[in-house]
Chain A
Amino acid sequence: EVQLVQSGAEVKKPGESLKISCKGSGYSFSSYWIGWVRQMPGKGLEWMGIIYPGDSDTRNSPSFQGQVTISAAKSISTAYLQWSSLKASDTAMYYCARLGSGVASYIDSWGQGTLVTVSS
């Protein structure tokens, strides 16, 4: 069974750094694109970017370029989403998601979500 398990909820202060994770199991982690999706409170889903763990090919959505870093460690089947300096506006639920087959595919598996709260 394909599973994506995300790290737990985080409460941070503005200016702090943060790295959340998404561990895949039940499939060949290196062979499927993994993406990150943001949902701010009361708002819709936003695609942040994707990474192909096999060769670390990474593509960020323009709105998130330079704001976050997406990475992966294929040896431990884990993808990451990282901030160097959080802002209050980063408060949101973050989901990792596996693309079924190819970069233009649909999401066939989701993580359970990681709630990030940034508040002074």
Chain B
Amino acid sequence: QSVLTQPPSVSGAPGQRVTISCTGSSSNIGAGYDVHWYQHLPGTAPKVLIYGNSNRPTGVPDRFSGSKSGTSASLAISGLQAEDEADYYCQSYDSSLSGTQVFGTGTKVTVL
């Protein structure tokens, strides 16, 4: 049972901007722990898109951006491209879960 809630799906036309929310609580995001975002394509290992709330690893396009406020975080994808169609997950640390990590429920991004 995930404690980070994401919308099941979002969609947009090529070139549009979409956002994915990640809602947590006072024991994870609200406690100040960082939020990280991953892209997961079928048959491959997930790939980090955003770490530490808003940082992009080398090689990740600047079309991807992250933010955090209070008990929530968001991932924005601008200039949506066909190759962005994938599952996206947020991740944070939760002090109430035996001191371990937790993933969001996951969001399927569909490019129309």
Contact = CB atoms under 8 A, between A and B. Distances in A.
Nearest to A99: B101
B45 A44 contact: no
A82 B12 CA distance: 42
Interface residues of A, number: 27
A45 B36 contact: no
Contacts, number: 73
Interface in B52-98: 52, 87, 89, 91-93, 97-98
A35 B93 CA distance: 13
Contacts of A106: 34, 36, 48, 51-52, 91
Nearest to A48: B100
Given A44-B105, A45-B89, A107-B91, A112 B45 contact: yes
- Tier of interface size on chain B: 20 to 34
Given A44-B105, A47-B100, A60-B100, A104 B93 contact: yes
Contacts of A84: none
A110 B45 contact: yes
Contact of B51 (A49, A95, A100, A112): A100
B18 interface: no
A10 interface: no
27 contacts: A44-B104, A44-B106, A45-B46, A45-B89, A45-B106, A47-B91, A47-B100, A47-B101, A47-B102, A60-B100, A61-B100, A61-B101, A62-B97, A63-B1, A95-B46, A103-B93, A103-B101, A104-B33, A104-B101, A105-B34, A106-B34, A108-B48, A110-B45, A110-B46, A111-B45, A112-B45, A113-B45
Interface of A: 35, 37, 44-47, 49-50, 59-63, 65, 95, 99-100, 103-108, 110-113
